Structure 1
């Protein structure tokens, strides 16, 4: 009888192990914003804080860790110091799995970005320029900034169109 019980236990454990890989990986529940939402990420993401999306207030983005990028750009003379969240870090945080990202601004200007490019180079979702918070009237609260001086290939017109200011949303697909 004990041999039969041992066989049954082994069979049940074995069947249980077969079922485990079929279960989906649980998505992480991100903290919810307590301030005004400044960025919404939708689409192919695994980590959310609202149905089908991840919403961020300014403090949440800052808590991801700020990086600095000094670079020239087409809208000012000389080099400007930007501070913000690295795009790749934000994409990893929300569990973005898509190859493309539609970035849209407050005025509904939108452009498609490559997820691989945003992860490969230090593209910044800037929230500060020369030490001052970016406000809506000066291209904020978030401005996508490319490291033009470190990567000369970003000094072309194609990449100028990717410098979206007043960024409001990212749709990963």
Structure 2
């Protein structure tokens, strides 16, 4: 019995890890799986900022503008869903204005699921005082599993 539980726990751990290194982009009904290596092939941007949930850190990721362009998303807003089904709608114009990123690293380390990962929306809050609002805190979606073009 202990052996069966051990094997099950190894399998379950692997499944959880496998689920944590990709997200789904939904655009016009088409679902595309995007992995961390896919994101790393795109130009990256670093943002040094704090969030309502973290001290000042250097976040590395892909500008959402670049991600949306690469996958031919032309909508005026996107809805970002966390793994726990929390979601928030983000206006694309705002993402462009502030060079908002989809971060996969914090302080040069991949963001673990227990630390808000594998992906988190990062606004440059410390650079723009107008971004230190409750609304932007709500838009800082973490543990992202799905992005849907609206």
Q: Does 2:54 correspond to 1:76? A: yes
Give the TM-score taking structure 1 as reference length: 0.72
Partner SS, residue 161 of structure 1: helix
Q: Confirm whether residue 57 of structure 1 aligns to residue 41 of structure 2.
A: no
Q: Is 1:43 matched up with 2:27?
A: yes
With the length of structure 2 as denominator, give the TM-score of the two structures: 0.82
Matched, 1:113 2:97: no
Q: Which has the higher contact order (CA 8 A, sep 6+)?
A: 2
Instruction: Name the structure 1 match of 2:9.
Output: none
Equivalent pairs counted in the alignment come to 132
In the alignment, the residues of structure 1 paired with residue 51 and residue 70 of structure 2 have an alpha-carbon distance, to the nearest angstrom, of: 28
Deviating 4+ runs (over 3 angstroms): none
Could you tell me how far apart the structure 2 residues matched to 1:169 and 1:149 are? 27
In 1, distance between residues paired with 2:101 and 2:82?
15
Assess if the C-alpha contact under 8 Å between 1:146 and 1:163 holds in 2.
yes
Q: How far is the alpha carbon of 1:53 from its aligned partner?
A: 2.1
Match of 1:32 in 2: none
Max radius of gyration: which structure?
A: 1
Give ranges in structure 2 of 5+ residues lacking alignment. 1-17
What's the Cα RMSD here?
Answer: 1.6
Q: Which runs of 5+ in 1 are unaligned?
A: 1-34, 45-50
**8 Å Cα contact 1:88/1:120 also seen in 2:** no
